[in-house]
Amino acid sequence: MSRYVGRKIYINEQVLDKLEVLAGKNNLSLSTLLNHVFTRYLENNSYTAPDIEQRRFARRKLVTPSLIYEQIRRGGGGEEADMGRYFSSTILDISMGGLMLAMPAGNNGKLELLKMKSDFEVISYLSGSETLFRFKCRPEHVEKNEYAVKVGASFIEGENPQVQELEGYLAK
């Protein structure tokens, strides 16, 4: 249940008058109307508080090189040919549910997984481990800026036989 707190805010008098009229027309208190307006604004702008963890599993931050392998289906004349491509990336964090990857911004036009939300594999030796990990992933969200592309990906359930090794790695 949400907790409501009293705060003093400053607002233009004309805007306040209009909000009070609108609240009255809808049989709402001014504070209820403002709560709805602010909540809707935050939802529409996909804002989540930075201190609230949204993952089901605790993450482990690390910086380790990895490869992304994506399989491309291309073809013409009714025939499709399977082709695979590798791209370098860096794992920024990992959990039992997925990982966060970063790659240079120049790669984003070449990666099919960013265009079609297609599954891909991540291959890496995780920091301090002698095990080569290979995980099938599905992209969940993408952040781009002028320097890098970050991809948050979830592990595909049932497709990753190394779950026990990952659990041991994360427990260290």
pLDDT lower than 50: segments of the chain: 1, 77-78
The residue extents of the domains of the chain are 13-44, 60-171
Q: The domain 60-171: what is its CATH number?
A: 2.40.10.220
Question: What is the pLDDT at residue 1?
Answer: 44
What is the rounded distance in angstroms from the CA atom of residue 109 to the CA atom of residue 12? 46
What stretches of the chain show up as alpha helix (H) in DSSP?
Answer: 13-25, 30-44, 112-116, 163-171
Res 35: pLDDT: 81
| pTM to 2 decimal places | 0.62
Question: Encoding tokens for residue 167?
Answer: 């659990």
Of 131, 127, 149, the C-alpha closest to 139 is 149
